[in-house]
Structure 1
């Protein structure tokens, strides 16, 4: 446990909100020093390591996946001015505090140790991957996938702790995606004293917004777990001055998607003259299609909890998009399991429990060694 906590602190101390290079260097150096795996660094900065049946074309492959980029730290989380300088790391009351402990360098450290220590069954290729650019839309994962990264199964080490009940690390079998869109309304400008001479783009946008409010959000069921989407207009921007009929107005829509389902925003745009749907971001949802994999992972997680006298974890769903969405879209059966608890990631008091990090290490090791 001390080694894992020390490795977590080392990774967390390295700034990686603007440039992930130094954090990737530390991960790569540790893997080369601590394992006999084939370690690679791709053009995007992703760190990949391969062990086990790497020369067997018929081997099944299992990846332990994380990311080493973080969101910008709060000023109090660095030793320099603003967000410059080394990150501050503190260990107290059984937790490690600092930017990236929860999201997700703590779980990356647990996956690194599990990758080193696990003895996978014959015929399995065990892979470790830490991606860049997860926080900005999965840039690293998409680069790796485009270059041929295609494990059969993956455990993505995003947060799953305290989901079904306090004190447990659950197994996530599905999560929502996010589509960020704009309903762009165009009209015709005119002097506001003669509104009939123009076409008010704000009115057209309002008609489209009414259409959004009337939409049903999609739902899905994954391995017996219900996943519901959501839909909200979050920004309205139109008009330039008080005495001109506006010729343009935009309504920004935050849509949380589910496996296999989107809200019919295209239909809303088509129903209102002068309105166009523009999709700015589409982070895919994830659904595990391998029930045996999900059940085996849950068995491992329950055994780890039982050894410590803890309540049993469950198969659950997650509201946030992760790199598991990109991997699932490319054909990998994914699960999410990690140390981060709701309310920890991206905060100025971000932290992770040392005990939970050790729990994740044992879960990852057990899954890597389990016949699937």
Structure 2
């Protein structure tokens, strides 16, 4: 194993061990401290908990972007410090988190196991090392956000505060999308719009149904409208991106002998760049209102040159031949793209790894991502 691969593993272990599902401050402090200690960059942590660093000069900026929050760990992914091997406790090799509790980090068959290894502290560690080691072609930016798992809280706050790199590589998963043992380049991903259809009627005794207005019937009419709508679709740099549209919940009525006066339907729509299903059409039905509860934006890379440069960097970092692909999940790249940053997604996580009780990441793929990020930072912007 090379020295750099050892660094990737060591830094990933350190970051993963720090709890960050409820409070990201300890993880943010560790990232900030590492950047201050190992780089000459201008480093800051904002009031939201986001960590930023900048180095290099030029009119064009490239950001290496990740997040240091995670979803709640499985109980098997937690441990108290007293559970650590004595030698580790004495050396402090696996710590950095809460003095009483931390996340477990295990290793077997060339993979690291633990909450956040795949999503996405492993790729974050790779980005930190690439940021440190690169001789950037322009201004190189590092950003790690809080609250990605809560709908992009940190990214949205940073954008509101003026964070606006020209280009960004977001380190979410892109490995094994187009083939085995390859890290691809995501040039588009879906968003998610969650909405509610609220149907109102007039209650009446069930023995005299015509005396009321049945909210369930109105909701069913609205569901029929949804079923007749086409799911959104788009093409990004030749890559097809298919959305989806589905009713997921329905609730209405209070008693078996009462005509219901209210009924609520929830709709899950996976959006695509530039397209939305015409869900507002349900409001043509009497007594029906439509409300958007969540709208995570999709992402499309609209600069072919940057997409090709990212693919070339990924190709140089591995033996396999990577491809441009689309991703089914929303990421912080959606918020950045919506604000004007040209994005791609390249990261170590594989389909099915994130948020699982046995979440893991390949150490070799982390090293691959480090090489990819480093190469792109040194080649982009192209002269």
Superposed CA offset, 1:276-328 (max 9, x none): 111000000000011000001101111222xxxx3200000000000000000
Unaligned runs of 5+ residues in structure 1 are none
Q: What does 1:1-372 correspond to in 2, within 5 Å?
A: 1-53=5-57, 59-79=59-79, 85-121=101-137, 124-267=138-281, 269-305=282-318, 310-371=319-380, 372=382
8 A contact 2:317–2:369 mirrored in 1: no
Unaligned runs of 5+ residues in structure 2 are 81-99
Aligned residues: 358
Taking the aligned partners of 1:271 and 1:85, their CA distance within structure 2 comes to: 54
SS in 1 for 2:122: helix
1:91 CA drift (Å): 1.0
SS in 1 for 2:139: strand
| TM-score (normalised: structure 1) | 0.95
1:241 CA drift (Å): 1.7
Superposed CA offset, 1:92-136 (max 9, x none): 110000000000000000000000001112xx1100000000000
1:237 CA drift (Å): 1.1
SS in 2 for 1:79: strand
Taking the aligned partners of 1:239 and 1:350, their CA distance within structure 2 comes to: 41
Residue in structure 1 matched with residue 90 of structure 2 by the alignment: none
Taking the aligned partners of 1:96 and 1:186, their CA distance within structure 2 comes to: 52
8 A contact 2:123–2:348 mirrored in 1: yes
1:358 CA drift (Å): 0.2
Taking the aligned partners of 2:307 and 2:244, their CA distance within structure 1 comes to: 26
Taking the aligned partners of 1:11 and 1:336, their CA distance within structure 2 comes to: 21
SS in 2 for 1:19: coil
8 A contact 2:196–2:292 mirrored in 1: yes
1:270 CA drift (Å): 2.3
Taking the aligned partners of 2:173 and 2:11, their CA distance within structure 1 comes to: 19
1:191 CA drift (Å): 1.2
| TM-score (normalised: structure 2) | 0.92
